[in-house]
Structure formats: C-alpha cells, structure tokens
Chains A and B, each alone.
Chain A
Amino acid sequence: MKDSTEISLSLARPDGTLSSKLKVALTLGCVGLLLLVLALFNIGLSSQGGLLIVAISLISIGVFLYANGLYINKQDGIKNNGVWFKSISSRGTIGWVTGVVLTTFYVVLYFYPKLLGLGIDGQPNSGLVALFDPLSSLLNGNDASQWFVYGTLYTLAILLFGYKFILKYRGNRYQQFRTFSVMLFQLGFAFLIPEFMARLNSNSFTIPSYDLKNMWPLSYDYFDQYSVDEFIQAGNIGLALLIFGVLSIFVISPILTYKYGKRWYCSWVCGCGGLAETAGDSFRQLSSKKLSSWKVERWLVHIVLVFSILMTTAVVGTYLGDDATAYWLTRKVFLIFVAAVLTLVFTLTMVFKRQELGKDARYGAIGFFVVILSLFALYTFGGSSDLLFISSGTLRSAYGFYIGSIFSGVIGTGFYPILGNRVWCRYGCPMAAVLGFQQRLFSKFRITTNGGQCISCGNCSTYCEMGIDVRAYAQKGENIVRSSCVGCGVCAAVCPRGVLKLENGSLEGRINSRDILLGNNMDVTKFAENKSE
C-alpha cells in the first residue's frame, strides 16, 4: 500500500537548468576528463607532461569554479535545495550512468590494468598510465603504475571535492576542520610521503613505501610475509615502523577511540572515509535507513572482520617457524597468543557489558566461538598452513579478491551513486567493525539529543551516510550510541532545531533511554516500562 501522495510528489521537478557559470565550469572539467580518456587511446600522448598538466588543470579549474558557482555567494546554512530533484544525487539516469562508469573503471583498474596502458613484463607504459610517467618519476623516480594513476586521481578528488565541501559547510567549523584534516592526511601521508620514501631507496638502503596512517585490518596485507620482510630488512627504521603499526591498532587507536569515538579515524584520517566525505558527499542521502539494512550490515561487517582475523592469523602462521629453539615466537605460540587475547576481550565484554549488548551478545558469542574453533583447528591440524583444509594462501588471495578489490573498490566506490557513499565503511570495513565495537561499548563519544526539541522532520536520518535512523533516537530523547557512527556530524548540521551534538562526555548516563520526553511534567507514580516497540 503506497501513499498516493508519495507518487505525485516525487514527480515534481523544478526547472533543472544550470546557470551559465556552472555550465562553463562543468564543460571545463569534462574536457579535462576527456583528455584523460583520449590518453587511454594513446591520442595526444606526444607531450605527456604537458597534456597531463593541461588535463589536471582543467579538471581542477572546473571543480573549483563549479564549487564557487554553487556556494561562494551564498550565506552560511544548509545547502540541500534540490538534492532529490537532481538526477545525479537521486538515483536518476545520470546517477546510474555514473555508477556504471565508476564500477567499470574499478573493474579495469583491479583486474585489467593492461587496458589502462600498464606495461607488462618490462614493456614501457602506454595510454593513461604513460601519461602519468613524468609525474611519477618526478616524485619517486620510477615510471607510473596503475596504482600511481589511481592514487593521483584519488588524491585529486579528495582535494578538489574537499574544497567544495568546505565551501558548502561555510559557517560550520567542525565540518571544515575535519575535511581539512582528511585532505592533509591524503595528500601527505597517503600520497606524497610514501612516494618520497620510495625515492630514498638505494642499493644499500631500502624502506618500504608506507602510509603511516594505514592500519591493520583495513590494510589487510600489513602482516603479510613480504610486507613484514620489507620492514625488517629496512633495519631500525623499518622495525620502528613495524612496531608503530602494531601499536597503532592495539594501543594508539583504542586510546583515541575511547576519548573521541571512531570518528578520529573514520572521518578525520582515513583515506576511504576521506573520499566518501568529499567526492561522495553528494550521495550520502542514498544510504538505506531500513531496519532490514541494519540487520544485513551487522552480519556482513562482522563476518568480514572474522574473516580478516582468521586470514591474517593463518598467513602470519605460515612464516613463523615450528622450532622453538630457533626463535621463541613459533606458530603455536602465536596461535595461543591470538586465542588468549580474543578470549580476554570476549570475557571482559561479557562480564562488564552484557547488559548493554542485549540480544547482540548471543551473536557475539557465536562469532567468537567460530573464531576460536578455527584457531584450534589451525593449531591441531595445521602441520602445513591449512585452515580446515583451505591453505592460508588461498584464504589470503580470496580475501584480497573479494574483500580488498570487489567489496572495497568496485562496490564500495563504484556504487556511490546507487547505495550511498559509505557502502564499504558500513557493510565491509573490518577496521570500522573493530573501532565500532569499541565505540559502542567503551568510548566517551555519543551524539547527545537536546531534550524534547525534536520535531521528527527526518533531515538527520536522511543525510546520515551510515544509514543510522538518527530520528528514531532523537524523537525519543535518547542519545545516539551506535557502533557504525563515523562522527561526520552532518546530522547535527542539517537539524533545523538544534537537537543534535557530537560530544565526548562521561561514560555515566551515555545511553539514556526514556519513555517520556523532557517537557512533560505529568505525575506518573507507577509508569509501566513495557517496551513492545
């Protein structure tokens, strides 16, 4: 049964014409993109450097002018007029076409880089990849790879659309600061520093080119043998980096998440989050807010986490020896250690947080026992490196293929215009699952609801990129304490009644379910708490 009005109201389309300024900007940007496409077919490649500069400049000027045209003369305030009328941002034709193009790009990038012009077996690059050779050799001294091309475009997207976002949220310093932060981390830590590190390499000294902000389990290859070898071969610096990596996930990140919630990473530092928040901002309203989506989300993201823990454990197991006399850290010691850590976390959670978890505790327990059983199997049967007869190598490549490439790349970014800009972060990222677990149970962060002020308008839920039904909490006067919240703060920005505030407060009273909202002083001596909703 559809509400009749639903249909007639969605038909309405105000005139969708762009101002001439915006048209010029759009044209410039498209010409820039077109040059890249032409390069793909080796057209105009005679002067690579020049062409690259022209293409990137056109794209940049295009986005810059477009953002200015949209926002620069406007007052502070929310700029969501017409979001659901525009084809690109409401799953219209342009939205779908963009989705298909992006998805195709990712498939080619991950699986057919040759099509982009990557020179295989020592052949020189051609096409799009060759176009980036001059920039690559300028930065790291080598020819470009498809990943260099991707990295450059990725960084460019974050910088340009970050600029647009900062203009859009003029008057909101939280939004501006965090966007500036992701722009900085992307440009510096993800793009430039690793390239420069690569440049430092010589015959006598190698250092892995390494993005300091990357963390296991998001960087699932962090503890792969080749990666660990690289660190160890780089001597003291490498060892320090390796230790830093371990500390980041096990010490630094828990402390920061405790103090600020997972937002410190997801919407201030992370590169995936960075792209989602900038280039993906126009698609945040497309995430599904259905209860059913939430259910899918919780299963999927935790399955990926379990998968990544097992995979990593198995992979690390392969290169640890069995001989305790050679090195104290043997495969078996390692497995016992992992099992012990997991058991400790599980027990502490069950003892102290069982109430808060409610029904979820059961699922958590199932997940935990699956992991422990697998580890046990690995321990007993794994003379080789098998996990229940699947070799760790197979596990590792399956993870890389399905999770690393298909999920995080093709679906995660390619589907922006269809499923919203945080598909990967919401349904797939194991890092988000770890941080979220902690945020839900042991963090000072919450979104505070302002007493009885909510008018249930729905702006907050609509613009939540993680698909959280913020309104469901706000209209009950209940704080939002959810593992998936990345703390982007857009709900608080778009709320027309000043109902939401992201804050770090005391753990006491963080979750404050109440049945009668502030503003009602009725005298109910024996108000029955009977939740059938």
Chain B
Amino acid sequence: MGKFSPNLSTLYQMSEEHVIIIGNGISGITLARHVRKLSSKRITVVSNESNHFFSRTALMYIYMGHMKFEHTKPYEDWFWDKNKIELVNGKVIAVNTNHKCVILENSDELKYDKLVIATGSKPNKFGWPGENLKGVQGLYHLQDLESLEKTAQNNEVCKRAVIIGGGLIGIELAEMLTSRNIPVTFLVRETSFWNHVLPLQESEMLNNHIANNNIDLRLGANLKEIKGGENGSVKSIVIKETDEEIPCNLVGLTAGVSPNVAFIESTDIETNKGVLVSRFLETNIPDVFAIGDCAELRNSKEGRSNIEAMWHTGRIMGETLAQTICGQKVEYEPGHWFNSAKFLKIEYQTYGWVSAVPIGTHQHFQWKNPNEDKCITLEYNKDTLEFIGINTFGIRMRHDIFDTWLTEKRDVNYVIHNLPKANFDPEFYQRYENDILAKYNKQLSTLNT
C-alpha cells in the first residue's frame, strides 16, 4: 500500500499550484519571498549561476577583497529550506508552453502551473573582431569574476587592462583592477564620461576624478578590433579614431547589457529585445510572466524605458507580480525614479528626473563646491517652478523626503529652502545648504534684473 499513500504534506503540496521561477537574482528571489509570505504555493527557483541567491552588485567587492563570496548572500543557506523555497541548480534550455513544463540541460522536466522568467541580462557584444578571444570578457555573472581572477589576478599576470564602454559597470571594473595595481585604459565612446545621462558639470567632475585615480581615460574613443596572440589570448586592442594599438592582457566589455533570453526565442513566448510583457507583467502566453532585467514592457509608463536593467526595478517587479500570482491582480506601478551609484570615491544619488541637457520648459539649477568633489543639479520647470528631480554627488540625501516632495509637486523654491531636511550625511559632516541657497538667491536676483 505504502507507495500509494503519499504523506500529508506531499498531498497538500500537490493540491497547491507550482510556481517555477527561472533565475535566482533579485527579481526572482523577491517574487519567491513574497509569494511565500502570501501563500503556501509550491515554489521552485532554477538557476545555473549559483546555488544560492547572492548580490550581483557586490561582485566588485569580492575581487577587491572587501568581502568574500559568502558575505554577498543576503540570506543564510538554511533560509530556503525553512521557507519551503525549492532550489534547483540547472540550466533551462527549453520551455514547452503546451505541456506547461520547462526542460533542463540534464533533460529533467519540471511541470509548472505558473512560470516566471527572471533570467536577467548578459553583457553586450557588438561583433567586434576578436571579441571571443581568451581574456576578453564582461562583468555580469559570478563566472565572469572567476575568469577575471585568472586573467587579472595581479599586475604580473595582467600588465594592462583595457575597458570598453563607460557605464556604471565599466567604472566598477576600472576600480577593481586599480585596487590590484593593474594599469587600466578606459575607452569611452562619449566625449565626456556618461554625458548622455549626466549634465556636463557632473560628467566633467567625473572625468577629472577618474584621471586622478591613475586611470588612463580615453574619451571619444571607439574600439576597432581586438588582436590575439599565438595561444588564442588577447594581445592588444586598436582604437578606431587614432589606430593606436594598446597592448593588454585583459579586455573588459562593459558597453551595456541586454536581456538574457536566447532560450526563449525558440518558444512561442513573444520576445523583442527582452520578453515582452504587459503592465501586469504577463507574456502573450497565459500563466507565463517575466520580470527584472529580461522583461520588456510593451508600453512603459511615460518617461520610463521599456527595459530597465536595474536592481530596484527587478525588486519592485518581484513585489508586484507576487500579488498577481497570489490572486490579486495588480499593475506594475513604479514610483518616482531613484537610483544611486558610486564612481570610485564619489557617491551619487538621484531622485526624480534630471536630464543631461534640459529641454523645453525645463531648466537646471547647479551648485558645485570649488574644493571638493561635491555638486548638485536640480531640474525644474521654469514656468511653473515645479521641481522635477535632483542629482547629488558627494552629499547623501533622503529618499522618502524627495519622494514626498515629488508627489506633492513642490516647487524648486521650496526644495532649495528645505534642503537641510533632506540631508542624509553622517553626523558632524560639513553642511552645504547655506552655500547652495546663497548661490540660488544670487542666480534668482540676476534673473529678475
């Protein structure tokens, strides 16, 4: 008889829906945690990267020796068992939406009731000659860090590294390599660092800061080709504009990321760059959803992009979809934009929207400390004075205060006068609000006369 009388807990689990999540990054894991909070559904998370969720954003700190891999895991290993979240280490190679199952590389099949694709991104490659040589790599997965450990263990193995692409990951890679005294050449396509996102004042401050950290920053420089040596390893790169050849042992490709959805393309789940989803994060196939870096909204909220490869976006999508999966259908509704980053030593936070160059009725108010790497830019509407957003470098500010001000549609006057309330720097730090206010008043009076 025994064989036919499953114990109670299996029975119970069998009667529950099975939610399969592909990807154990922030989006997949947030979803799993919230589904668990809201229900007793069976949850399985599949990933081929690591057994347990770790923080991708902390990869750089492992290489720099600030942390070990274990420190980047936000939950202890017993957490998953305790919360009945099943973890499968494997790679999904196909999805059969008719039979509602996913197929793993080792040919295991897992049946789902609800499927969530949360497979994140992969580093961009643009078909550069030599981009598949040994020693050419991106920085995204844990495995990238492992190969970096080999190629760039120290400055004897790696005499020089060249980084292609001046974004947030590029600057992190530059900082990492510099921490091991590896000389870095940093090719940036733009004429000033990140100037398609940042106003000139800030972008130029970063140019200087990068150069001051002994990084050979090449602005307005594109990659022409990567040359290989005899054993298939990279030997040098050539810059398109000048034909200059730079010998190197490592080439870091950090020219952006794109959704990691290759294995979906053979299925009837619709994709463009990413997996196409509605505002409810549903794909074209019932019971199949996508969240995080790999999801592409068919029509995003005004002012937001369809793909946002960001930690917070993944988290918010996970929180949202958990509601829908647990029976309360809600729309993905991100609040006011916010983000933060660190450029070597300079911290950056942003709340609301600040464009590189204000257009239409929008205008910038800017302040910069003459001696230190600290500056802010406020964007506002010059007709209504409505506050649109703020970039702050070297001064920490409060998320909740700005979120409230944006919701209340405060004007720029109010924001400047109440800036002390938003300060989030540690105690005893020098304060700059008076200085900022003085500059603002001065600018105002010159405007009025």
* Residues of A participating in the B interface, judged by any CB pair closer than 8 Å: 1-3, 5-6, 8-10, 12, 14-15, 75-78, 80-86, 172-174, 177, 290-291, 448, 450-453, 455-459, 461-462, 471-472, 475, 489, 492-494, 496-498, 501-503, 515-524, 526-528, 530-533
Contact = CB atoms under 8 A, between A and B. Distances in A.
Contacts of B316: 517, 519-520, 522
B312 A519 contact: yes
B323 A6 contact: no
A205 B153 CA distance: 68
B333 A496 contact: no
Contact of B426 (A174, A459, A475, A523): A174
Contact of B66 (A81, A497, A503, A531): A81
A527 B213 CA distance: 48
Nearest to B58: A457
Given A3-B69, A452-B338, A9 B426 contact: no
Contacts of A452: 312, 315, 338, 399
Contacts of A1: 51, 77
B154 A15 contact: yes
B330 to A, nearest CB: 5
Contacts of B409: none
A500 to B, nearest CB: 9
A472 B55 CA distance: 13
A361 B103 CA distance: 50
A506 B213 CA distance: 42
Given A451-B398, A520-B335, 7 more contacts: A2-B51, A83-B66, A84-B67, A450-B400, A501-B396, A502-B427, A524-B328
Given A173-B426, A520-B316, A12 B58 contact: no
A146 B333 CA distance: 68
Nearest to B175: A81
A520 B83 CA distance: 24
Interface stretch (B30-38, B115-123, B258-266, B433-441): B30-38
A530 B334 contact: no
B330 A462 contact: no
Contacts of A177: 428
A519 B335 contact: yes
Contact of B399 (A84, A461, A492, A518): A518
Interface string B50-77: 1110010110011011111111111011
Contact of A5 (B146, B336, B424): B146
A456 B74 contact: yes
Interface in B14-56: 26, 33-34, 36-38, 50-52, 55
B57 A3 contact: no
B62 A9 contact: yes
Contacts of B65: 14, 80-86
Nearest to A474: B74
B349 interface: yes
Given A3-B52, A9-B149, A532-B83, A458 B38 contact: no
11 contacts: A9-B68, A12-B153, A15-B155, A172-B426, A174-B427, A452-B399, A456-B26, A498-B397, A522-B333, A530-B37, A531-B37
Nearest to B424: A501
Contacts of B38: 528, 530
A450 B426 contact: no
Interface string B382-417: 000000000000001111100100000000000000
A177 B426 CA distance: 12
B145 A9 contact: yes
A497 B71 contact: no
Contacts of B427: 173-174, 489, 502-503
B180 interface: yes
Contacts of A503: 427
B421 interface: no
A458 B396 contact: no
B323 A14 contact: no
Interface residues of B, number: 77
Contacts of B149: 8-9, 12
A14 B154 contact: yes
Contacts of B37: 515, 528, 530-533
B320 A522 contact: yes
A496 B424 CA distance: 13
B330 A450 contact: no
Contacts of B429: 172-174
A532 B58 CA distance: 27
B140 interface: no
Contacts of B419: none
Nearest to B425: A501
Contacts of B240: none
Chain B CB within 10 Å, residue with most, of A291, A471, A526: A471
Contact of A15 (B156, B315, B349): B156
CB-based closest 10 A-B pairs: A451-B399, A498-B396, A77-B345, A457-B58, A173-B428, A82-B65, A521-B335, A455-B57, A80-B66, A520-B316
B319 interface: yes
Interface in B67-99: 67-74, 76-77, 83
A116 B403 CA distance: 63
A456 B68 contact: no
Contacts of B335: 518-521
A450 B71 CA distance: 21
A458 B71 contact: yes
A177 B430 CA distance: 13
B21 to A, nearest CB: 17
A461 B146 contact: no
Given A1-B51, A81-B66, A457-B57, A498 B349 contact: yes
A340 B294 CA distance: 64
Contacts of B52: 3
Given A12-B153, A471-B74, A84 B331 contact: no
B338 A526 contact: no
B180 to A, nearest CB: 5
B179 interface: yes
B69 A82 contact: no
A8 B430 CA distance: 43
B367 interface: no
Nearest to A529: B37
